[in-house]
Structure formats: C-alpha cells, structure tokens
Structure 1
Amino acid sequence: MGAKVSKQLERRKALSIQRKLLTGLQKNSGNEFPGSDYRPPNRKNWMQDLNPQKLHINQIVWPGTHDSATNKIGIPCITRPFAQCQSISIYNQLVKGTRVLDIRVQEDRRVCHGILKTYNVDVVINDIKKFLGETQSEIIILEIRTEFGHQDPPDFDKYLVDQLGEFLIHQDDRMFEKTVTDLLPKRVICVWKPRKSPPPKPGGPLWSAGYLKDNWIDTDLPSTKFNSNLKHLTEQQAVSKRRFFYRVENTVTPQADNPVVCVKPVTKRIHNYARLFIAQCHSNGCADRLQIFSTDFIDEDFVDSCVGLTYARVEGKT
C-alpha cells in the first residue's frame, strides 16, 4: 500500500513539474509563427478560401481529431468519460474545420474505442456525405481501422467503395504534389487499415496503412508527449519530399495505474499548447515537416492554428 501511495506522489510531482515546463516555455517563447494571426473567414470552407487552384496537398496542415466518432460512446456519466475523445458529431467536426478523421470499427461495423462501442459506421459515412454535399472544395482524409482486439468487418473494403466511390481519390504517389483543384470533384482520401484482411491494392480507390504514419507516445505527461512529438517530427522528411501523411497528436492518454483515468481532464494537460507546439516547430526548423495535427475535443483555435500555417505556406511566408 505504501509503495502505491509513494508512486502516486511521484507521478503528481512529475505532472506538476511538466506543467510548469510547458507554461514556462510558452511564457518565454510565445505562440507566434508565420500565419499565427490568420483566422479563416469560414471554417466550413477554409480550403476554398485559400484558393484551391493554388493550394497544394503537400502544403496543407491538416487539423484532425483523435478517436473522432466517440461523441456518444458508452453509457453517459458511467463509461463514456473513459473513452470519449470528441463531444460533437462527425458532421459538426467537419463544419468546425476538421479535415482528418480517425475512425475505429469492430466486426459488426460499429464504431468502438477499446471494448466500448457506439453507433454503426453508417452514421459516420452519412455525416461525411452530408458535409461533402454542402461544400465544393474541401478534401477529407478518412482513416478507418479495425480496433485492436477486434476482427475486421466482412467485405468492409467493398462497403467503403460502395458508399464513397464517387468521392474517392485513388491511391497515387503523384497526388501529393497536386493542387486541390487538380483532384476535384474527388474529395476523400480513404485510408483503410484492416488487421487481417488483405490491404488495399496500389492504384485502387482505397489507400493502404503505409500512407498514414505516426509515432504514438502512450503517456499522460504533457511535456514528455510534447517533446517526443517534436523529436519524432524532426526525424521526418519535409512534406515536399514525403509520399505519405505523417501525423502528430496533441493528446495525452490516461494510464491505468493513475487515479485520473477519464479522458477529458487528462488530455486538457496538453490541449492548450497546440500553438506553442507549432511555434516550437518553427523555431526548431522543422515546421516544414508538420502535416497532420490532431487533437481530442477539437476547438476553433486549434483549427485556426493549422489553417494559419497553411495560409503562410501558400503565401510563401514560411
């Protein structure tokens, strides 16, 4: 018992130190970077506003959501706080400016997060199609994977093509150098990551797992995650040379041996440091490597920070 208490006291001390480190860095270095003062006039159409004829795919800093379809997961006030990473629907995330979705499914096509499940993936697809029907030039990266510990939904690749076929941008390395206009009217890059089923074939309508990579750091300590994200990003090539998407997640994760195991209070430890991260990327010379930037409980300021750096790239300010 005494050892457990001592361990928790050490963890609290570490958390306090890490919070002070990030707060101090923000105070001393600030949150400014090229494009940091830009605010999109309409987040629902921010790619349109940046001029699709000028906006290249490899210039975009894509605002994404982590565990995107968890707004109604589990039982409210009982199991939901342990798995909910977003509080609004897929459609409302897209309207707010999100352009990368992280969807986990199980064998019956229901969205899940670990052992907890929520609505059928049809809800996600219908929200995407609704958004696409209301916009003209917004490109979405849709990552769908079979959740760890679950089986692949039968014939799920055929389902995705049947549902989204008219919008799907086919797998093609040359896409990264193209403009948004070059890709229209196709508007969805769908990355399908099965656990055991055959992966998508080259040149097909779905993209394979190797086209969306990240370095997941499983920690609830904000400075540890912040610095690890920065380190892994510096190890990547510049987006202009890359032929895959690389994601950084501005999140921290509840740990089983910590008394605080609900997502929201834990991820808040890093949530407000997104602009600081981009500013540090700029000051450390690796802002040209930032591509997908994802978060829990996405908000307008997070979207604006990603769109601002995108704007600066388009205008040649970085």
Structure 2
Amino acid sequence: MGAQITKEKEVGEEETELQQLEKTDGTSFPGSNYQCANRKEWMSTLPLDKIKVRDLVWPGTHDSATNEIGIPFISRPFARCQKLSIYNQLVLGARVLDIRIQQDKLICHGPLTSYPVADVLTDVKQFLSETTSEFVILEIRTEFSWNDPPNFDQWLVEQLGDYLIPQDISTFDKTFQQLLPQTRLFCVWKPNTASNAPPAGSQLWNSDYLLDNWIDTDLPFTKFNSNLNYLAQQAPNDTRNYFYRVENTATPQISGPVLCVFPVTQRIRPFARLFITETFKRGIADRLQIFVEDFVQADFIDACVGLNVARYAPSQLLLDSQSEATKQEASSSSSSSSS
C-alpha cells in the first residue's frame, strides 16, 4: 500500500510538471491552429509532387487493433488502447497502424486475443479503395512470446497485392506522386524469428525501417522527456533511411495504483501539442516523423496535419484562416440581427 501511495504522489508531481511546462511554453507551433476539413483525405490536399516520403509527419495509433480485445468490463479495460475500428481510425486521419498478432493470425495484446488480422487487412483495403491519394504504414509484429504464423509473409503479399510499396531504400527520396496511383501501402513485418524477416527487395519491409525507443512507464513527464531525448539522438528526416516513431503514451504498471489503460495513458495524452511545441523549442522538429497515441482523437490528427500544411501548403492555412474569420463574422452579424 505504501509503495502505491508513493507512486500516486510521483504521478501527480509529474502531471503537474507537464501542466507547468505547458503554461510556460504554450502549445503554439506552425500550423497549430489548423482544423482539417476532410480528415479522411487530408493527404490529397497537400502538394504530393513536392513532398518526399521521408519528410511527412505521419499521425498514427498505438496498439491499433485492440478495440475489441478482452472481455468487456472485465479484461478489456486493462488491454484496450483504441476504441475505433481500423477503418474508422483511417477515416479519422491516422496513417500509421501498429498491429500485434499471434500464431493463429489473431490480434493480441499480451496473452489476450481478439479478431483475425484478416479483418484489419479488409479495413485497410476498403479505405485505400475509397481514396486515391492516401498512404498508410501498416506495421504487423508477432507479440511477445507468441510464435510467428506459418508462411505469414507470403500470405500478406497475397492479401495486399498491388497496394504494396516494395522494400527499397530509394523510396524515401521519392515524392508521394511518384508512387501513385496504385502503390500506397508500406507494410512492415516484424516476426519474432529472425529467419522469417523480409529479405532485401521484398514486397514487405523489415524491422530496420521502422524504429522507436519505447520505455515502459506510467510516469508521464518521464515518458515525455524520454521521447524528446531519444528524438534528439536521431538524424534529421532528410538524411535518414528509416521511419522513426514517437509514442505519446503511458503504460500501466503492476506497482501503480491504476491498471486500466485509459486513465494511465490520459496522463500524457493531452500533451501531444506541447510535445510538438517542445521539438521546435529544442530545434529537433525536423526529426519528428511518426507520432502516435492511444485512443486517437481528431485534435491529435489536426495537430499533425496542421504541421504538414504549414510546411508544404502555407497558403492553405491562410485560406482556412480567412474562411474561419468569415464564418465567425457571419455568426456575429446573425446574433446581432437576432438581438
């Protein structure tokens, strides 16, 4: 009991530190006021003929396919990290998916299992079929000590077919327009057995091309600072040949007083905009590439998309700002007339 009380106090102190940092530094960065009009097709609004694959900021989700994991009200609160289906996450604007599986091709989170991974692929293919210029990074990994599904790489290629962008280091220097119209899916396969990893030139990408530095903690300021410090150690996006992911998440610990995912990750989740702000303050915004969260929300998507718009379509920010001002003026005039 004493250890849990100490942990609760420590968590409270770290939350206060984040709140104070936000009060001091704010949450303003290029594009921070942007509100996406069409999150389902936000990439299509960018000049894809000018943006290289390596340069985009990709919003994504952590433990993406856990929306139906476990038993409701019993084990689900301890393992679920997303409420939306894969399709609805993509429609909301997420473009990077983190999928965990086991040997029977079932979604899993630790020992808990859920629906078949085939359902994930169906959602991804549906989304891609409904859009023309949206790209997705689909990471699939064998979770913890589970065995790899037999011949899984071959099965993935058969399922995803012509959407796949083949493993080729030169792709990072291509514009998105050069990959259109068909190849719009990076599929990263991370098996537990090294011999099952995709070889060079495969239709699938191996673990060398999607890296992160995840630390297992429920302390929000500790995780926040760790994310910044590890990001600072990366080369700028325009010089490295791999995707780098930052996870704006906190993880329940046995030593803590709270074991459910949502209240624990909520300790850091509201500070995504602060994190982006801090990357600019520290001069490492050019390293931010993949940014993900639990229980993805529209505001998180808008923050990432806004940064892309500010960098590559600044005139769009001006037009949206003028449109918003016009709406507010019209609303104000209507209110005055009513009075």
Q: How would you bin the TM-score normalised by the shorter chain?
A: over 0.9
In structure 1, how many angstroms separate the alpha carbons of the residues matched to 2:299 and 2:52?
A: 23
Distance of aligned partners of 1:286 and 1:217 in 2 relative to their CA distance in 1, 3 Å threshold: same
What's the counterpart of residue 270 of structure 2? 272
1:312 and 2:310 aligned: yes
Gaps of 5+ in 2: 316-339
Residue 315 of structure 1 and its aligned partner are, at CA, apart by: 4.1
What's the counterpart of residue 126 of structure 1? 122
In structure 2, how many angstroms separate the alpha carbons of the residues matched to 1:155 and 1:316?
A: 46
In structure 1, how many angstroms separate the alpha carbons of the residues matched to 2:103 and 2:269?
A: 32
Residue 241 of structure 1 and its aligned partner are, at CA, apart by: 0.4
Q: Secondary structure of 1:98's partner?
A: coil
RMSD: 1.1
Q: Secondary structure of 2:238's partner?
A: coil
Residue 211 of structure 1 and its aligned partner are, at CA, apart by: 0.3
Q: Secondary structure of 1:118's partner?
A: strand
What's the counterpart of residue 183 of structure 2? 186
CA deviations over 1:235-282 (Å, ceiling 9, x no partner): 000000010000000000000122210000100000100000000000
CA deviations over 1:141-170 (Å, ceiling 9, x no partner): 000000111000001001100000110000
Alpha-carbon contact 1:214-1:248 (below 8 Å) kept: yes
Q: Secondary structure of 1:20's partner?
A: helix
- The two structures have a TM-score, normalised by structure 2, of 0.91
What's the counterpart of residue 202 of structure 1? 200
Alpha-carbon contact 1:66-1:296 (below 8 Å) kept: yes
What's the counterpart of residue 291 of structure 1? 289
What's the counterpart of residue 237 of structure 2? 239
1:1-318, aligned counterparts within 5 Å? Answer: 5-184=1-180, 185-196=182-193, 197-315=195-313
In structure 2, how many angstroms separate the alpha carbons of the residues matched to 1:141 and 1:302?
A: 18
In structure 2, how many angstroms separate the alpha carbons of the residues matched to 1:111 and 1:198?
A: 19
Q: Secondary structure of 2:144's partner?
A: coil
Amino acid paired to 1:300: A
CA deviations over 1:91-138 (Å, ceiling 9, x no partner): 000000000000011000000000000000110000001000100011
Residue 7 of structure 1 and its aligned partner are, at CA, apart by: 1.4
Alpha-carbon contact 1:61-1:310 (below 8 Å) kept: yes
Amino acid paired to 1:111: I
How many residues align? The count is 313
Q: Secondary structure of 2:97's partner?
A: strand
Residue 316 of structure 1 and its aligned partner are, at CA, apart by: 7.5
Tell me which structure has the larger Cα radius of gyration. Answer: 2
Q: Secondary structure of 1:269's partner?
A: coil
Amino acid paired to 1:242: R
Alpha-carbon contact 1:168-1:187 (below 8 Å) kept: yes
Amino acid paired to 2:125: K
Amino acid paired to 1:287: A
Which protein is richer in helix relative to its size?
A: 2
Alpha-carbon contact 2:8-2:256 (below 8 Å) kept: no
